[in-house]
Structure 1
């Protein structure tokens, strides 16, 4: 079975002057169905690594394949299409449209994928049900708690059936109890064979992963 993520000596240097080596050459593989956490302090290179993983930045060296597709030579339009179809993003800030219902927010993620409206709405309702939010499908974000908003954001990331769920500090804006419920949801998604990469500075969040990777000064270490 093809790994979801395969990186060979991937590195990134930002041009100067002076140039900055943000990520040292890194080998990194995520098998289908794995739950990997990446932990490091501020300035460690987490954001750089996230941007490469999410096809937002191009590495300046090495090779990177997503679902067996070599992304190194793809044009920006092709990279954007691959990102839209195969990666689901969950952020610390929920990024929900304030005047759209939960269902509409989730459906918006598929707006440019060519999926007909009826199918987008059906996918959105199914994703909300998957994260335990079907009872709040018609609610506006301002009427939802922080935990509920993050569940809607996770549903939005799941709606198009991605190969990889990429989470950046998914509990950073939540209290301890609510954080626990979101981490339990991620555990459930992993149990259902979703491939997860969670980037965090929190040791308790990092400990939930099947594999824990640390990053410091642009260098990954398992």
Structure 2
């Protein structure tokens, strides 16, 4: 862990969807994730994991309380400023990869930085560095249809890393992979964490959850320390 800098800080943050009847998808919670932590979050389907992810990833705003990312109170930001903060500070890794099938690996990674305002040359350079970091420098010009599931997830992780975010937010990153490939991907996430990256993984897999420095659980919209 690198010092006491907070990457995620939730202060009685919660989200209730309007009714009728209103649904408290995430009940008010307090949470601190410090720079350099590796945190896993578990919970059954419908427990509130997706709502938590959406708040942490600045895709939704809490309807009560406060969410601070890198010390910035996100509730005070305009929508364009929230989008810009998300693009600079958060890298997303999803279960389904979400790669463009007819673009090369390096293009898929470089495209993630278009909205950051970088020129093409800088985007391609950063994309190449990110792919090298995940061990795919030899597959930069391959298209996703020629890559294995593990390689596609590595491209997705490289895409998340390209803009040098302060938080890597992973939603079921091993859900589409066999157990051996899943272990390899988790090893990569652990290596990135060892390099100082703050990593948060949402999972239903106990074997994945136990790889974190600490595990949180969500059940019926309630966030608590410890596994389910």
Q: TM-score range by the shorter chain?
A: over 0.9
1:120-141, CA deviations, whole angstroms, 9 ceiling, x for partnerless residues?
0000000000000000000000
Shift of 1:73: 1.5
Q: Distance in 1 between matches of 2:41 and 2:92?
A: 15
Specify the alignment match of 2:136 in structure 1: 133
Specify the alignment match of 1:210 in structure 2: 213
Q: Which among 182, 185, 197 is matched to residue 182 of structure 1?
A: 185
Specify the alignment match of 1:70 in structure 2: 73
RMSD: 0.6
Residue 200 of structure 2 corresponds to residue 194 of structure 1: no
After TM superposition, the structure 1 = structure 2 runs for residues 40-51 of structure 1, keeping only pairs within 5 Å, are 40-51=43-54
Aligned length in residues? 222
Q: Which among 24, 36, 41 is matched to residue 38 of structure 1?
A: 41
1:141-200, CA deviations, whole angstroms, 9 ceiling, x for partnerless residues?
000000000000000000000000000000000001100100000110010010000000
Q: Distance in 2 between matches of 1:109 and 1:74?
A: 22
Alignment TM-score, normalising by the size of structure 2: 0.96
Q: Distance in 2 between matches of 1:164 and 1:139?
A: 27
Specify the alignment match of 2:159 in structure 1: 156
Instruction: Structure 1: give runs of 5+ residues left out of the alignment.
Output: none
Specify the alignment match of 1:25 in structure 2: 28
Q: Distance in 1 between matches of 2:200 and 2:191?
A: 14
Runs (4+) of structure 1 exceeding 2 A deviation are none
Instruction: Structure 2: give runs of 5+ residues left out of the alignment.
Output: none
